[in-house]
Structure 1
Amino acid sequence: MTDASALPGRPADAVLDGPTTERSVCLLAPNPSPMTLEGTNTWILAEPGSAEAVVVDPGPADETHLRRVADTVAAAGRRVAMTLLTHGHADHTGGAPRFAQLTGSPVRALDPRLRLGDEGLAGGDVIRVAGLEIEVVGTPGHTADSLSFHIPADGALLTGDTVLGRGTTIIAHPDGRLGEYLDSLRRLREFSEREGLGTVLPGHGPVLRDPVGVIDYYLVHRAKRLAEVETAYEAGHRTAAEIVAHVYADVDRSVWPAAELSVLAQLEYLREHGLVV
């Protein structure tokens, strides 16, 4: 993870809990940590005036948070039509089975092991619920099952952990792969320009108002880290732990174990391209 101030499009009054766009509300889960930032963002999506809502990433298995999400939907005179998962990490999905019990809603995910109901999710799917349209965008790399969700009417993209509201994400080796992640970032950049996106709604951290600028920052950051890892390897730092201590000295030590996963993914990428042995 990196310094929040470096990210483009991060407003000083960024919303962490409450309405964010016309069709989205963020409820922050009470699971702050160096890896989850302020906590996991649970998103409630609904068309104005409709009687149904979609919940994205109900968050960890925290009964108070799950009930707060269910009660917020009910207080708006709506029911949860379905729950969508951006990816399988427990801070996003641990509460999904209990949330399904509380709301009677099916859970849809790319990974069949996380589904509760008959339908899954895949990039290119279009979900329509009570006038709300959500386009599913495949964004593997952070994990193999990572998805993003586009709300065309708001010009907004929910990115899960692919793009964070503060800092940068890890590549969760061996499930996550750097090559796929870079391809996803490039695809999101092109998508953002084509669709005229104005807002990133991340899985952690505040909303961002410059999607293209943020993705460009991510691409530059990844290229810089990859070059640093290659240089460290050539200098004789062979293990992931050694490379982290050399390259990630500017990062909080509490996230060094996660940084090792990213280093393993970077080494794999360098080997695939014949740049290290």
Structure 2
Amino acid sequence: MTTVIDGSGTLRAHCLLCPNPGPMTLSGTNTWVLREPGADRVVVVDPGPQDERHLERVARSVQEQGARVVLTLLTHGHPDHSEGARYFSELTGAPVHAVDPRLGIAGEGQDATLTDGQEFEVDGLHLRILETPGHTPDSVCVQVGADDVLLTGDTVLGQGTTVITEDGLGAYLDSLRRLRDLVAASGIRALLPGHGPICPDPAQRLTEYLTHREQRLEQVSAAVAAGAQELRGVVARVYGDLDPALVPAAESSVRAQLRYLAARGEVPAELARS
């Protein structure tokens, strides 16, 4: 279990790691349990995949603290974050809120659809939703006000870089810039990702992410200029030797970059459709 501690030594964010490690999930999915110190109501972010033992462990850990889950939030709809949400709702009785209405499970008289800027107050725990599309169209981050931390889902990972949707690079760059501006303006002191360790230097991490994307765009442009005429050829020039398990993710990212560059007239449109 990973714990985030505020300046007074009290605890607000606890991470329970789901045992689903892999090339795309790193050490596993981080399920975040948010609780104002001394409160008996908690919020869970990303219960994880349909792993009943993990979901029951999360529910049990809350009960053992003398608390109960009153709200579950999904940072996006990928199964490793959301597939277990329905079972978790059955375990806890808590509604599930998500951008995608198909994933929401509303309580009585509630709308379970997350929107940009939406705020939640749970026994003094203040949360704010930030839409950050790019990894998926429905990606959000969750700001925990009192601790000045940001739960980033898969928008920013604890290590490495994330995959983006094939039409999502422009939106993703805007999301990164939005988070960078928020960190500068609000003093966000840590990023709590959906996979991997906590990022203790948000400004540096977001700068690294933006720089990485800019460098990748330059590499893709150079690969096309050097004669690569199809997606696989660009991937081979940009990534070189690559773990076969990561090839689909690399192809998805390169396709997104080609579409972004094609929209700007910098590579042939037909290449972006390859």
- What's the TM-score, normalizing by structure 1? 0.91
Letter in 1 for 2:2: G
* Deviation digits for residues 219-255 of structure 1 (CA, Å, limit 9, x no counterpart): 1100001111111122222322221122112653321
Q: Which runs of 5+ in 1 are unaligned?
A: 1-16
Q: How many residue pairs align between the two structures? A: 259
Correspondence 1:18 to 2:2 = yes
Correspondence 1:136 to 2:125 = no
Kept in 2: contact 1:24–1:46 (CA 8 A):
yes
- Runs of 4+ more than 4 Å apart: none
Instruction: Give the match for residue 40 of structure 2.
Output: 51
Kept in 1: contact 2:46–2:81 (CA 8 A):
yes
Looking at structure 2, the residues matched to 30 and 155 of structure 1 have their Cα atoms a distance apart, in angstroms, of: 28
Looking at structure 1, the residues matched to 73 and 208 of structure 2 have their Cα atoms a distance apart, in angstroms, of: 28
Instruction: Give the match for residue 8 of structure 2.
Output: none
Identity, in percent, stands at: 53
Letter in 1 for 2:178: R
Looking at structure 2, the residues matched to 102 and 241 of structure 1 have their Cα atoms a distance apart, in angstroms, of: 45
* Deviation digits for residues 95-154 of structure 1 (CA, Å, limit 9, x no counterpart): 011101111111000111111113211111111111100011111111100000001111
Instruction: Give the match for residue 139 of structure 2.
Output: 146
* Deviation digits for residues 52-87 of structure 1 (CA, Å, limit 9, x no counterpart): 000000001001000010001111111101100000
Kept in 2: contact 1:200–1:208 (CA 8 A):
yes
Correspondence 1:121 to 2:114 = yes
Letter in 2 for 1:106: P
Looking at structure 1, the residues matched to 54 and 235 of structure 2 have their Cα atoms a distance apart, in angstroms, of: 35
Looking at structure 1, the residues matched to 231 and 102 of structure 2 have their Cα atoms a distance apart, in angstroms, of: 30
1:32-47 matches, within 5 Å, as 32-47=21-36
SS at match of 1:81: strand
* Deviation digits for residues 8-43 of structure 1 (CA, Å, limit 9, x no counterpart): xxxxxxxxx332232100000010001100000000
- What's the TM-score, normalizing by structure 2? 0.92
Which of 1 and 2 has higher RCO (CA within 8 Å, sep 6+)? 1
Q: Which runs of 5+ in 2 are unaligned?
A: 6-10, 269-274
Looking at structure 1, the residues matched to 172 and 241 of structure 2 have their Cα atoms a distance apart, in angstroms, of: 23
Instruction: Give the match for residue 194 of structure 1.
Output: 185
Looking at structure 1, the residues matched to 254 and 162 of structure 2 have their Cα atoms a distance apart, in angstroms, of: 12
Q: How large is the RMSD of aligned CA atoms in angstroms?
A: 1.1
Instruction: Give the match for residue 96 of structure 1.
Output: 85
